[in-house]
Amino acid sequence: MGLTPHRVRMLALLGTVTALFAAYAAWTGLSYLGKVGGGIRMTAYLPTSGDSLGPASNVKYHGLVVGRVVTITGEAGKSRAQIVLKPDQAREIPANVTARVLPATIFGSEYVDLVAPRNPETRRLPSVHTIPADRSAETLRIMDAVAAGERILRAVGPSQLDSTTSAIANLLDDNGENVGRFIERASDYLGTMLPHSDALYRDLRLLGNVSQGAADAEPHLVAALRNSHSTLRLVVDQRRSVDQLISGTTGLSTETTTFLHRNEGNLVGTIYAGEPIVHVYNGRRDKLADLLQAVPHVLSNGANGVKDGKIVMEGLMQFPFEFGKPYSSQDCTRYVGATAANCAGGRSYDSPYRGHP
């Protein structure tokens, strides 16, 4: 059976449709990859590639989709993405934007966010070929918060998460006005605190260091508590002895007080009586000093004067000081008004005991 004109026309139509479809698919694929079309192909460096960022992920600027991700390469901390931007929107973006990865939802969808600079340049994005990574403190805090949220979601089971969200929904039901006022107050508070965020984070880091120090000291603290427990137990066991010691100390204090009260006059008289002696010693301090310095030598001579149980005179005669001048009439010995025989103008003293055995 030969080809009829109708069949030829049908085959030609089918081939044309197939070719057009293949051409459209190829054009769509190449346009998606940024190989053809009017898209602007650029390289965006990222502080992290995230967990779910990949081809077909959106590229946003101020929340508006301005392009898509083609490929992701690199490793953690050195990731880069090949992106394709829409030409008309890329011409409205400053050239000094930076790139970061943000989650679109809490369940894993991510996108590349182009961060607007504080001081936009007059140049536009098509004039550069690369976009640097955004490593500002705000971005790092957002990444830390997202990572912490992901860890919480992994730790919380789906059933528990469903119960929690249901409870929150019931709590918020018919409380829209209260929630709105709370959000406004929280916004005002955060707006007031934002200028002091650096000091707040510094205080939190110091608090973390203090907590770490307390954790490091925990074994020593526990050991000290155990030792104090043993000490307290010993005190309890020796309570009777401690009570007796305290009672004895109290009694001694009472007796001492009584003694001082009873002998107050005698003690005062003794002090007053010793005053002339102190006065005499004060006037002859040099002589007293010489005498005190000679005492060790005298004691040493006494030790040397005894040998093998016998007295050795040579040892006793080793005087450590020199004799003074010979006695004169000025060196008088006086006793009960009488003077010695060599004193000028003196009188003798007759002892009532003279002549008695």
Q: Are residues 26 and 48 in the same domain?
A: no
Q: Are residues 42 and 135 in the same domain?
A: yes
Q: Are residues 28 and 72 in the same domain?
A: no
In a domain, 257, yes or no: no
In a domain, 357, yes or no: no
Domain that holds residue 133: 38-152
Q: Are residues 80 and 25 in the same domain?
A: no
Q: What is the pTM of this model?
A: 0.41
Q: Are residues 10 and 74 in the same domain?
A: no
CA distance 236 to 228: 12
Q: Are residues 60 and 121 in the same domain?
A: yes
Q: Are residues 119 and 30 in the same domain?
A: no
Q: Are residues 104 and 50 in the same domain?
A: yes
Number of domains in the chain: 3
In a domain, 77, yes or no: yes
Query: Contact 42/126 with Cβ under 8 angstroms?
Result: no
Q: Are residues 1 and 106 in the same domain?
A: no
Q: Using the 3D structure, point to which of 126, 152, 178 is the last residue of a domain.
A: 152
In a domain, 280, yes or no: yes
Q: Which of the residues in the chain have pLDDT under 50?
A: 321, 335-336, 346-357
Q: Using the 3D structure, point to which of 100, 125, 152 is the last residue of a domain.
A: 152
For residue 50, give every residue at least 6 positions away whose Cβ sits within 8 Å of its Cβ, in sequence order, or none.
101, 103, 110
Q: Are residues 51 and 95 in the same domain?
A: yes
pLDDT for 331 equals: 59
| Burial group, residue 42, by CB count within 10 angstroms (0-12, 13-18, 19+) | buried
In a domain, 221, yes or no: no
In a domain, 141, yes or no: yes
pLDDT for 354 equals: 42
Q: Are residues 61 and 146 in the same domain?
A: yes
**Nearest-CA neighbor of 65 among 104, 105, 26?**
104
pLDDT for 294 equals: 75
Give the dihedral of Cα atoms 177, 181, 182, 184; nearest 10 deg. 140
Q: Using the 3D structure, point to which of 103, 129, 152 is the last residue of a domain.
A: 152
The string of pLDDT tens digits covering residues 148-185 is: 777 777 777 767 777 877 888 777 777 778 878 888 88
Q: Are residues 23 and 94 in the same domain?
A: no
In a domain, 70, yes or no: yes
Count CA within 13 A, CB hemisphere, residue 11. 6
In a domain, 102, yes or no: yes
Query: Contact 132/43 with Cβ under 8 angstroms?
Result: no
The first and second tokens of residue 153, run together, are 């979601």
